[in-house]
Structures are given as C-alpha cells and as structure tokens.
Amino acid sequence: MRAGFIGLGIMGKPMAKNLLRAGYAVQVYDHHEESIQEVAAEGGVPCGSAREAADGADVIFTMLPNSPQVKTALLEKDGVLESMKKGAIVVDMSSIDPTVSIELEKAVTAAGGEMIDAPVSGGEPKAIDGTVSFMCGGKEDVFEKVKPMLAKMGRDVTLVGPIGSGNMTKLANQIIVAVNIAALSEAMVLASKSGVNPENVYRAIRGGLAGSTVMDAKAPMMLDRNFNPGFRIELHIKDLTNAMNAAKAVDMDLPMAEKVLDMMKQLQENGMGKCDHSAVVRYYEEQEGVEVKR
C-alpha cells in the first residue's frame, strides 16, 4: 500500500520513518523543507503540498497541531481532497476537536473516501520506538484496513467507537496526564521544601499505587532539570482547551483540568510554552521558592 504522510513534527517525523522501515512507500509533506528532506533521506518521497502527498495514496495520514491545520490540509487549495483517489482512507492522527473530526469525515466521504480519527499518546520517545497508543474512531471495516499500518507505528491500536470517539478518548487521556503531572509536581515540591530528597521520594513510591507511566516519564526530567519537549506545554494547552469545549457541549465542569490549564497558561505567558509539560513543576517552584533536583 502507498501512503501519504502530512505533518513531520516531533511526533510525525519518527512515525513516518517507522512506516518506511516497515516497507511502505511513503509520500511526505511538511511546511519545513528540512523535515521533508530528513525523511526523504530514509526513502520517503518528498512532496510540495498536501495534494501532492495524497496523490495516488491508498492511505493518507495527517499529524498536525490542531483542527485549523487539519482542515486546511484536507479541504483548502492544494489540499488532500483535490487529489485523493476514490476509496482512499484518511487517517487523522492529530489531536483535535471531536466535532471537527465528524465534520471532516463527512467531507471525505462526499469526495469518495473514508476517514478514521486516530490520535496518539506516548510522546516523542514512543513515537521513535514505535510504541505509541492509538485511540481510533470510525467504521470497523475501515479501521481493520488501516490497523496493520498503525501497528507499525504503535503498540496499542484500539477502536473506541464511531468517528470522533478517538479524539474524545484523547481528551480524556490528556486530562489524566495533565492532572498526574500537576500532582507529581506538587508532591516533589512539597518534599523539596520539607528538606526530603525528591529523588528518594520518587524511588520509594514509584513501585506502589502512586506509581504510573507519567511518573516514570516525567519525574526524571524534573530531577534532571530537562524540559526539552517531548510534548510541549502549548500543545497540552490546546488539548485541555478542546476538553473544556467538549465538556461545555455536554454541560459539565472540569475543575481539575481547568486548574492545570490555568497553570500551563501562566507558564506560557512566562515564556515556557515550548517546554515539555513536565515544566509544570516550575509553576510550583516559583510559588514556593524551591527547586526540585537531584
């Protein structure tokens, strides 16, 4: 099968490379020429537009920042729908508003294609080693057609429900991750301010009920003062904002998510929007005048 791949950012670039290593022909496009050339060096076919990347592809993957970028890539001039062949499948792996996924699926279907929303979780390290988790929404028969390709980029590939369900699941995931990071930050700062070594606290509790994938991924980054992005604060702000909009649509409050969103917005205002979301610890550190470190 021939693939088109649009969006070669922190996550998209290694995922496209994993498809190439699995033996698929992959036509790639991104706004940054250097990203295109890096993937082309591993066998990708460089393209000058989303339309060109989609031309002749059986499956077209998009991995873009948010709803507006996906809509542009699919619907506007030089977009996917200008060249998508009949029967092609669009797999949007971006994390966007679920209502936009539903809207886009209608447009893709009207143009003779099919669509799955398949946002991912795991961050850059798991994108590199091909172990991200896919949360998919769409028709079961369409999902089964693309599942083997998704399995070359991720470890867990799950169909949650109809179109939009994948992105709703991703929003749930992002709430849980955000609140976990905030709780970890709060606890590490409390330990540090109390004179207890935060690294020892982490080692002591990681194997108990408090232990989590989030803790094992983010506590070492906090202790090392390493806030290079695996997943940027500005992107988590986008996801939590989408979650707040989804909650508003069903008349629900998200008090914990809202609090963490406010923390992240404050960090962004202070110039840390491009830092990894483990930098939420900086919010507490600045409040308390201490630093979490080894």
Q: How many angstroms separate the Cα of 232 from the Cα of each of 40, 162, 272?
A: 26, 29, 9
Instruction: Identify the bridge partners of residue 136 per DSSP, sorted by sequence position.
Output: 159
Backbone angles phi, psi at 232, to 5 degrees: -75, 145
Q: What is the pLDDT of residues 9-30, one digit of tens each?
A: 999 999 999 999 999 999 999 9
Domain ranges of the chain: 2-162, 168-288
Q: Are 245 and 265 a contacting pair, CB within 8 Å?
A: no
Q: What is the mean pLDDT of residues 42-50?
A: 98
Q: Are 93 and 73 a contacting pair, CB within 8 Å?
A: no
Closest alpha carbon to 67 in 246, 193, 208: 246
Going by their DSSP bridges, the two strands 59-62 and 114-117 should be labelled as unpaired
Average pLDDT, the chain: 97
List the structure tokens of 27: 């036509």
The pLDDT of residue 230 is above 90:
no
One fold for 2-162 and 168-288: no
pLDDT confidence tier of residue 122, bands split at 50, 70 and 90: confident
- How far apart, in whole angstroms, are the C-alpha atoms of residue 252 and residue 265? 21
- How far apart, in whole angstroms, are the C-alpha atoms of residue 283 and residue 72? 35
Please name the CATH architecture into which domain 168-288 falls: Orthogonal Bundle (1.10)
If phi over 0 gives left and psi between -120 and 50 gives alpha, with beta otherwise, what is residue 197?
beta
Least confident of 30-34, 41-45, 230-234, 276-280: 230-234
Catalytic residue among 170, 193, 218, 265: 170
The answer to whether residue 170 is catalytic is yes
Least confident of 54-58, 98-102, 201-205: 98-102
State residue 123's pLDDT score: 83
State residue 206's pLDDT score: 97
Residue 194: CB atoms within 10 A of its CB come to: 10
Residue 68 C-beta-side C-alpha neighbours within 13 Å: 1
Q: Are 107 and 75 a contacting pair, CB within 8 Å?
A: yes
The pLDDT of residue 209 is above 90:
yes
State residue 59's pLDDT score: 98
Q: pTM above 0.85? A: yes
pLDDT confidence tier of residue 132, bands split at 50, 70 and 90: very high
The pLDDT of residue 234 is above 90:
yes
Closest alpha carbon to 245 in 177, 159, 175: 175
State residue 152's pLDDT score: 98
State residue 120's pLDDT score: 95
Would you say domain 2-162 falls under CATH 3.40.50.720?
A: yes
pLDDT confidence tier of residue 94, bands split at 50, 70 and 90: very high
User: CA-based angle 225:134:104, to the nearest 5?
Assistant: 110
The pLDDT of residue 224 is above 90:
yes
